[in-house]
Amino acid sequence: MQIDRRASFHEFLVPLLFGVLLAIGLTGCATPYRSEQLQSFDQAIVTATVALLKQVGASPAMLAPGAAPSDKRVIVLDPALDAGSGQQTLGTQRLDRAIAAHTAANFKQIETLPFKAANLPRAQYLLAGTLAREDAGLRISLALVDLKEGTVVAQASTLARKNEVDMAPLAYYRDSPVLLKDEVVEGLVRTSRGAPGDKADAIYFAHIATGTLVNDATQLYNAGRYREALAQYRRAAATPGGDQIRVLNGIYLTSLKLGQSAEAEDAFGRVVAYGIAHHQLGVKFLFNPGSTDFWSDPRVTSAYRMWLRQIARQGGDSRVCMDIVGHSSKTGPEEVNDSLSLRRAQSIRQRLVAESAELADRTRPKGQGSRQNLVGSGTDDVVDALDRRVEFVIVECSG
């Protein structure tokens, strides 16, 4: 009987290659995990966390009881953000806590540490996470970054039900007068969605050390410890990566809370100058419903005149031309939102021209209605305050 040696060799080779490829898949570039199945928020967090850690070879049984701490892999958790607004919210805070708790309870070979400067030298990985609103639900995106190489080594995303998550911003973001999505924040969002093997966003990764100081300061602000927060924001400002909107805004907010009005106005002027230099500045001017009148509560609007004064001054000094773009939440008919957002932009322009007549020839009002919502909840409260912003967009001067 003649044996077909080619067939027997083929039968031997195929499982061998399969085993080699499987090993490469486990030890080389991981495959990102993406689920479109709608889950509860808590379950979606667990699913994403498990999928993420498995990509770096972690399993609940890997580390034997009593193993030395040196056997553990250490992850530093950069606080997650709302991808649309760039804010930390009750929902992103809940995400951070759930990741840390589930990892501690089920992955004994993984140690998760807070986002502190002292923890960076100990860690192998940085975890960047975001929540993003989609039509189908709330998208959780998590990425692990190798801190030595600056490369994404694992990524997972899942879909959670929106109605289970409170996306109200934390105090610092609630009180902020401006949109805080600068290049660093945008870089975190991009990194959280990166595929294994991709480089982490260069600007975000270069600002990690400063980011720990910003996080410390923001936690102090949220706790009402304004004097300590101001000192920490100033410390962050003195670092090479300190020229960023979250730092400048923190100095403004803490100075205002401490009753240092001159320092607060100077700080807001620097916030405006930063926005103009980066060609976009979104400011949360709140209006009465259906009106071009500012919100009736003076506790909310008392700083508006100073804001307008600084926007007019910085806009005049920089000699730029600006589109003043009004936005609205998505509550109500589109044509009503378009008209209302335009009238609000015209109202802000009139106020700016009253402060600096030269801006009459270098500004034009526009209304975007709800087409560029950052939050999109339609709740008309603190959650979607950024959707009712007025933006100052730097444009080419005509003529």
- Least confident span in 48-62, 121-135, 334-348, 375-389: 375-389
CB 254 within 8 A of CB 263: no
For the segment 89-144, what is each residue's pLDDT rounded down to a tens digit?
999 999 999 999 999 999 989 999 999 999 999 999 999 999 999 999 999 999 99
Q: What is the mean pLDDT of residues 371-380?
A: 64
Q: What is the mean pLDDT of residues 264-285?
A: 92
Residue 38 has pLDDT above 70, yes or no: yes
pLDDT for the residue numbered 384: 60
Q: Could you give the 3-state DSSP secondary structure of residue 339?
A: helix
Average model confidence (pLDDT) across the chain: 87
Residue 28 has pLDDT above 70, yes or no: no
**What number of helices (H) and strands (E) belong to the chain?**
13, 11
pLDDT classification of 63: cutoffs 50, 70, 90 = very low
Q: Is 379 exposed, middle or buried (0-12, 13-18, 19+ CB in 10 A)?
A: middle
Q: What is the mean pLDDT of residues 216-230?
A: 98
- The whole model's pTM is what? 0.86
pLDDT classification of 288: cutoffs 50, 70, 90 = confident
Residue 69 has pLDDT above 60, yes or no: no
For residue 77, which of 20, 123, 126 has the smallest C-alpha distance? 126
Residue 160 has pLDDT above 90, yes or no: yes
pLDDT classification of 196: cutoffs 50, 70, 90 = very high
- d(C-alpha 140, C-alpha 326), whole Å: 30
**Beta-carbon neighbour count of residue 45 at 10 Å?**
24
Catalogue all structural domains in the chain, each as residue range(s) with its CATH number. Answer: 31-192 (3.40.50), 279-399 (3.30.1330.60)
> Distance from first CA to last CA of the chain, Å, rounded?
93
pLDDT for the residue numbered 372: 65
Q: In whole angstroms, what separates CA 88 from the centre of its chain?
A: 7
